[in-house]
Structure 1
Amino acid sequence: MLQERIQRHDWYHRTIPQLFAETCAALPDKPAIVFEGRTTSFGALQAEVDRVSQALLDLGIRKGDVVTTLPSPTPEFAVLYFATLQVGAVVNPLNLLWGTLEFSGVLPRNAPAVIVTVDQYGGRDYLQLLRESLPDLQFHGAGKVSSASVPSLRQLVCVSREGRRHEGVLDFDDWVAAVREVDAGRIAQLRDEGHATDIQFICQTSGTTGLSKSALWDHRPPLATVNFAAKALAYTEDERYINLSPFYHNSGIFALNLNLVLAGTTLYLMEAFRPAPALDLIDREGITATFGFEAHWQGLRRVPGFEQKRFTVRKALLAGEPTTIDLVRSMCPPGAVINSLYAQTENGPLISLSEHDCVDARINRSTHGRPLPGVEVVIKDIDTGERVPQGQAGEICYRSPYMFRGYLGQPDETRQAYDAEGYFHSGDYGNFDNGYITYLGRLGGVVKSGGENVSTTRVSTLLLEVFADRFEDVKTVGIPDEYWGARVVSLVRTRDGAPLADDAALREACKGKMAAYEIPRNFLAWEGEWPVSPEGKINFKALQAWAQEQLART
């Protein structure tokens, strides 16, 4: 089934609900989701999705309505995702790390008809957070709500893992249990009427330079991503995939679409990423595939007793510095397919992938692979906007058949994101050399030091090459400096806890191997894990603050 779908380009012609229903019908008894020891077959999963679809229809949700979620990576929200799309509505996951500023700014723009939220997660109370974000929120009983600032909002539904009930809020389990009869004919009609070009997803950008923008996806961008990822991974219908990501992140949605929609493979869910339980699950269940940010891989590898576990992952996608591939290769069994990638929300999100059959270790280690078929990449000078010579670093710009459909309610921002040649300006720094992309960080991670543009990502990569026998890992930040503009500072975790040499000796060792302006002014010793966000990304703001504090003491 998987290979036939790839050969037919089903990602281009079909919708997510159409492919999902076809998968469930073809594999009714196969395990679809495994969560906390409970297995749900594809047939049972489709039945649950149909029931929640009917619950949405009973609330008055219609084609084009927005269903906003504050989701945990659990079966309830997986079912809700497919049910929302099946009735032709638009799903909009919001980041659980946000505060009142982000929620109060984004919710009025996205205009949800219903919000489905966790009550408690990671020590936070999300019902209280919504009340603080929407101070005019009024409760009218049985989950019916209203808000002058979000006039579209009609209903508030809550998922409680502990079985709590909250006054004025509709409980998810009670809501679904109240469905008396599923109108299968109507649901099938809505599913069959869907088109690949229908808007089905509002994906929030990272918001690193301001309030998160709301990117609109039709069915093609996320299906193209899983289609080409499956090809690059040599994915089979026998894989077992563990999801390490939150469902408000692209990579969590990727796990749903790759396994439950396109491939018909078993998906293992965890309520939150915890390295030791994840490693136990990989060992016990013989997990074969996953996606991870750099910190996910480091977290798994640094679990005490890792060597005594069976690490059975043989199909791995990774996001991070190119050298992360060395770490992942050391963890996986011989012959594992390990692909690094470059992705961005606006391209749904995959832009490039390394190739599993590339035998050049240097290319695999130092680049993020080739652009997907049809994606055109150029590099433009970050100051002039002119194209730079091949191999020179600048802003990554691209034209693509998998692009988003604009930012909701922000036509000016959508228009300004493209230049006169029709290239989308990514805001990312990198180079494009002999057909391969190397992502060197956000432009915010490019610091101006002594008048030169310095990629902190590239500095870390070069230091790991220069000091391969002494440095286990490196993270580099820019610290404001009156003389240099930005002082380049590298935080170093040494091998076996060895003492870090002084700055002068380390700088001397870098001469002739790195550009003079790339050599850090300071090296700081770091012990233990890097600080990370719940998505598994390195928290560079925390590292920068720590480095500033350390330097202020000297």
Structure 2
Amino acid sequence: MAEALVTSLWPRDDSVPLVDHTVGSLLAERAVTHADTPSLVGIAHGTGEERRLTYRELYTEARRVATALLRLAEPGESVALWAPNVVEWPIVQYGAALAGVTLVALNPVLRPDELVYALSHSGVVVLLHADVSRDYDLAAVAATVRPRCPGLRHVVSLADRERWSAEPEDLPTTAVQDPGAPVMLQYTSGTTGLPKGVLLSHRSLVNVARLTVETVGTEPGAVHVSPLPMFHTAGCVVATLGTLWLGGCFELVEQFRPGPVLELMEKEGVSVLFCVPAMLAALIEAVRENGRPAPGLRTVMVGGANVHTTLIEATRRVFGARVHNLYGQTELAPTLTATRREDSEEDIRSTVGRPLPQVECKIVHPATGAVQPLGTPGEICARGYQQMIGYLHDPEATARTVDAEGWVHTGDLGTMDARGVIAITGRLKELIIRGGENIAPIEIESCLLGHEAVLEAAVVAVPDERWGEAVGAVVRLAEEPSEGLRDALAEYCRDRLAKFKVPQYWFVADEMPVTPAGKVRKFKLREAVTEGKLRPLH
């Protein structure tokens, strides 16, 4: 534990050294140290069959992919993967790393124009795609976009296995990348403007994954389950590479459905779960509805959204698990902070913990950039090995995010205490300015989540003639609203919040528009409010 801080500036903890593995070299090492240990379980593309691989088998499969990819692309070029959570996803991820190409991770819900933008912007030369994702015909879309992407040399279906997997050969020395080289390109969620391509290095991914699972005290060799999308860093970095570091078994869930996930947890002896709060809540609700004892868990890692006290307590009661709040963003590969196993109940309920080792963190005044006093809200900034190489082809956006001293400005607001523990207070772009008062939506959302009628809550700015902006609450309810629920929720807020923070406008949503990371797209809700598309709560 570091000495007590005097300002909101956390120095780099270098007591835990970084490792200089590439993604491929770490897999190669595990193929030796854990050769016959189960490494990966998932559903195969096209057949729906379950595949189980040991570390030796996984490394062989990855070498097959690398061999095939180097017949289609040169080291340093970009190869895209457009698929749901099939077992081929991590196999291709490892193969691309061994081949020395940059893997472009694409969301399988992308529409044709969005796909063309990502492929063209990133200079992809090979597109590997699933044939279908749920009811979306990826193969048909891939065929139609190919003529629109002049640099795209090969479009290969995962069903055409002979084209993307070949008898493994010794890889050329040009394919062996150093840990600082690019390995993956992740597109931001595009909540404002066009998505930005975040370029990440081997060193960032391997060490963030390793330090995340070590920080929360995950035991070596554990069985992990993840329903998180693999095209997002939470799934393909923290969950996938974190399991690899620990020599554990990674249970990949193709599509999240609470009942089957619970059955998988029990059958496979899962002890670690990666998820977003909405998934965790759905699992707990499924246990309650089934009336059966829940499978035991030791560790639940949650990120992407605010985790309310009641959900943390329910997780401990139902699964016997310790909940760990993770905070970060794609530009940080992605974890910046985490709560520890020894943290107090209060810390787990209300904070995102302390920074991981080997990264500096500070809270600054959004306008002046001055480091804030302890306990004073400001923008969260970070600097360390795990930050992005930059936004691809966008030096201006990179310069806006990474300042001249190398600090990444997250756009998130928070406070830091004398121990370096951080609490999230909101987003810079989401602040509601009501008659000169700055209001952080997260405080009101946390309050609303404490009411038994509310399953989800999102607070947005609503245009108002008198105040400029007023507070609007959008809630997803446990059941159809009863008479007088709006007044009851307002009264509930008045008892717990300052008067000016109590929502003036109330709306009901059947579901929230979210990013792949589980974060609510506030701009979509604001649009729905202003366009009269949401049902008012009476």
TM-score (normalised: structure 1): 0.84
C-alpha separation in 2, matches of 1:133 and 1:203: 20
Q: Which among 300, 322, 339 is matched to residue 337 of structure 1?
A: 322
- How far is 1:218 from its partner? 1.2
C-alpha separation in 2, matches of 1:483 and 1:272: 46
Distance 1:513 1:76, change over 3 A: closer
Q: In the alignment, which residue of structure 1 is the partner of 2:108?
A: 96
- In structure 2, what residue type is equivalent to 1:40? L
- How far is 1:489 from its partner? 2.4
The question of 1:390 aligning with 2:378 is answered no
C-alpha separation in 1, matches of 2:109 and 2:350: 32
Contact 2:445 2:457 in 1 (8 A): yes
- How far is 1:404 from its partner? 1.1
Map residues 29-48 of structure 1 onto 2, 5 A cutoff.
29-36=36-43, 37-48=50-61
Contact 2:226 2:253 in 1 (8 A): yes
C-alpha separation in 1, matches of 2:337 and 2:507: 34
Q: In the alignment, which residue of structure 2 is the partner of 1:349?
A: 334
Q: In the alignment, which residue of structure 2 is the partner of 1:168?
A: none
Relative to structure 2, which stretch is displaced further, 215-224 or 9-18? 9-18
Contact 2:512 2:520 in 1 (8 A): yes
Q: In the alignment, which residue of structure 2 is the partner of 1:362?
A: 346
Q: Which among 284, 295, 299 is matched to residue 301 of structure 1?
A: 284
Q: In the alignment, which residue of structure 1 is the partner of 2:430?
A: 445
Deviations 1:469-508 (A, max 9, x none): 6756533233333333333122456678784645556545
- In structure 2, what residue type is equivalent to 1:47? T
Q: In the alignment, which residue of structure 2 is the partner of 1:477?
A: 460
The question of 1:327 aligning with 2:340 is answered no
- In structure 2, what residue type is equivalent to 1:298? A
The question of 1:400 aligning with 2:384 is answered yes
Contact 1:294 1:537 in 2 (8 A): no
C-alpha separation in 2, matches of 1:495 and 1:270: 26
Q: Which among 44, 47, 64 is matched to residue 51 of structure 1?
A: 64
Contact 2:508 2:536 in 1 (8 A): no
- How far is 1:452 from its partner? 2.2
Q: In the alignment, which residue of structure 1 is the partner of 2:25?
A: 18
Relative to structure 2, which stretch is displaced further, 97-106 or 278-287? 97-106
Distance 1:361 1:495, change over 3 A: farther
The question of 1:227 aligning with 2:216 is answered no
- How far is 1:464 from its partner? 4.2
- How far is 1:224 from its partner? 2.0
C-alpha separation in 1, matches of 2:234 and 2:437: 34
Q: Specify which structure has the bigger relative contact order, considering alpha-carbon pairs within 8 angstroms and separated by 6 or more residues.
A: 2
Contact 1:12 1:196 in 2 (8 A): no
Deviations 1:93-133 (A, max 9, x none): 11223333433333222111211111211322223434554
Map residues 371-520 of structure 1 onto 2, 5 A cutoff.
371-434=355-418, 435-464=420-449, 467=451, 473-492=456-475, 499=482, 501=484, 503=486, 506-511=489-494, 513-520=496-503
Q: Which among 226, 229, 246 is matched to residue 246 of structure 1?
A: 229
State the secondary structure of the residue aligned to 2:107: coil
- In structure 1, what residue type is equivalent to 2:65? V
State the secondary structure of the residue aligned to 2:207: helix
- How far is 1:363 from its partner? 1.5
Q: In the alignment, which residue of structure 2 is the partner of 1:165?
A: none
Q: In the alignment, which residue of structure 2 is the partner of 1:67?
A: 79
Relative to structure 2, which stretch is displaced further, 402-411 or 510-519? 510-519
Q: In the alignment, which residue of structure 2 is the partner of 1:141?
A: none
- In structure 2, what residue type is equivalent to 1:347? L
Q: In the alignment, which residue of structure 1 is the partner of 2:9?
A: none
Map residues 146-225 of structure 1 onto 2, 5 A cutoff.
147-148=149-150, 151=151, 153-160=152-159, 171=160, 173-176=161-164, 179=166, 181-184=167-170, 186=171, 189=173, 193-225=176-208
C-alpha separation in 2, matches of 1:500 and 1:489: 20
C-alpha separation in 1, matches of 2:263 and 2:520: 24
State the secondary structure of the residue aligned to 1:396: strand
Distance 1:391 1:330, change over 3 A: same
C-alpha separation in 2, matches of 1:8 and 1:398: 18
Relative to structure 2, which stretch is displaced further, 230-239 or 477-486? 477-486
Q: In the alignment, which residue of structure 2 is the partner of 1:268?
A: 251
Contact 1:322 1:365 in 2 (8 A): no
Distance 1:102 1:384, change over 3 A: farther
The question of 1:28 aligning with 2:35 is answered yes
Distance 1:321 1:251, change over 3 A: closer
Deviations 1:129-154 (A, max 9, x none): 345545x34xxxxxxxxx43xx3x21
Contact 1:531 1:543 in 2 (8 A): yes
> Which segments of 5 or more consecutive residues in structure 2 lack a partner in the other structure?
1-13, 44-49
Q: In the alignment, which residue of structure 2 is the partner of 1:84?
A: 96
- In structure 1, what residue type is equivalent to 2:379? E
State the secondary structure of the residue aligned to 2:89: helix
Q: In the alignment, which residue of structure 1 is the partner of 2:127?
A: 115
Contact 1:34 1:40 in 2 (8 A): yes
**Alignment RMSD:** 3.0
C-alpha separation in 1, matches of 2:131 and 2:205: 28
Identity of aligned residues (%): 27
Distance 1:279 1:509, change over 3 A: closer
TM-score (normalised: structure 2): 0.86
Deviations 1:370-407 (A, max 9, x none): 11224333333344544443323232222223211111
Contact 2:216 2:339 in 1 (8 A): no
Deviations 1:402-436 (A, max 9, x none): 21111111112212223355432212222223322
Contact 1:322 1:364 in 2 (8 A): no
C-alpha separation in 1, matches of 2:240 and 2:389: 22
Contact 1:460 1:474 in 2 (8 A): yes
Deviations 1:206-242 (A, max 9, x none): 2212111111111121122112212122222231111
State the secondary structure of the residue aligned to 1:308: coil
The question of 1:521 aligning with 2:504 is answered yes
State the secondary structure of the residue aligned to 1:46: helix
Contact 1:67 1:89 in 2 (8 A): yes
Contact 1:28 1:43 in 2 (8 A): yes
C-alpha separation in 2, matches of 1:503 and 1:419: 45
- How far is 1:512 from its partner? 6.4
C-alpha separation in 2, matches of 1:90 and 1:56: 11
Distance 1:502 1:265, change over 3 A: closer
C-alpha separation in 1, matches of 2:479 and 2:153: 58
Deviations 1:148-195 (A, max 9, x none): 3xx3x21111124xxxxxxxxxx2x13256x3x4323x36x567x431
State the secondary structure of the residue aligned to 1:119: coil
State the secondary structure of the residue aligned to 2:19: helix
